Amino acid sequence: MDLARTPWPDVPRDELTVAVPVGSFEQHGPHLPLDTDTRIATALTGALTGVAQAPAITYGASGEHEGFAGTISIGTDALAMLLIEYGRSACRWARRVVFVNGHGGNGPALVKAVELLRYEGRDATWLPCAVPGADAHAGRTETSLLLHLSPGDVAMDRAEPGNTASIADLMPQLRSGGMLAATPNGILGDPVGASAEEGERLFADLVRRAVEAVERWAPRADGRLV
C-alpha cells in the first residue's frame, strides 16, 4: 500500500505496519544528488513486503556536511521531536511503525525517538540501510546503488577519489571541522569503478536482509530491527 495515494476509508485501522523512509539533504560529492540518502531509503521501503509505505522524511541531521553548499540540516533535536510526534500520530491508527533510515547521522535521533515511543507503549522500530563493508560516504557503495536506482542522476564523469583513510583515523578531523576538514570534494572512499551491476547486487542483498528483519520484528534495546 502506498499511503500517499490511498483514500482514508481504504486504510485499515490497527492492522498496518507503516514503513517511513528517513533520509537527508546533504552533499554527496560532485557526482551524486543531494537527496541520495532519501532515494536509497525510499527504494528500500518500497521493496519491503507486508508494509504500507509512507512518504519520506527528507531532511535529517547532517550538520557535519554544512561546509558544502546545498546541504540542509534540521539537527538531531528537531529530527528526534519530528520522529516522536510522527510515531505518536501514526500509532493512533497503525499497528506499528518502522523508520527506514538512509543517513548514519540520523542514528542518535532515531534511537532517542524510538526508545521514547516504545517506553510509551507504541510499537515503533528503526532499520538502517546498511551495506556490510561499505565505504563511508559518496564512494563506490552509494555510487553503485544510485547507478542502479537513479542512473540518470549520477555524473560519473565527475566521480573522483576522496579521502580513503579509515573512519577511525578521520574521526578527529570530522569532529573538529566536519566533512570539509577531512575531504575537500565531499567523498570518503573512491567511487571510480562503481557500476549499476554492483548496485543491483548490493540492493538485492539490502532488501533481503531488511525483509527478514521486518518479518522477525525483534528490536534491540535501542529499537533497531535485526
Condensed to tens digits (0 to 9), the pLDDT of residues 97-138 reads 999 999 999 999 999 999 999 999 999 999 999 999 999 999
- Predicted TM-score (pTM) of this structure: 0.96
Of 163, 42, 183, 38, which Cα lies nearest the Cα of 106? 38
- Position 167 confidence tier, pLDDT thresholds 50, 70, 90: confident
Find cell 552533499 and name the residue.
27
Condensed to tens digits (0 to 9), the pLDDT of residues 134-152 reads 999 999 999 999 999 999 9
Condensed to tens digits (0 to 9), the pLDDT of residues 82-106 reads 999 999 999 999 999 999 999 999 9
Distance, CA of 110 to CA of 41 (rounded, Å): 14
Of 62, 45, 44, which Cα lies nearest the Cα of 54? 45
Those residues whose C-beta lies under 8 Å from the C-beta of residue 176, and which sit 6 or more positions away, are none
User: Quick check: 36 and 146 in contact, CB under 8 A?
Assistant: yes
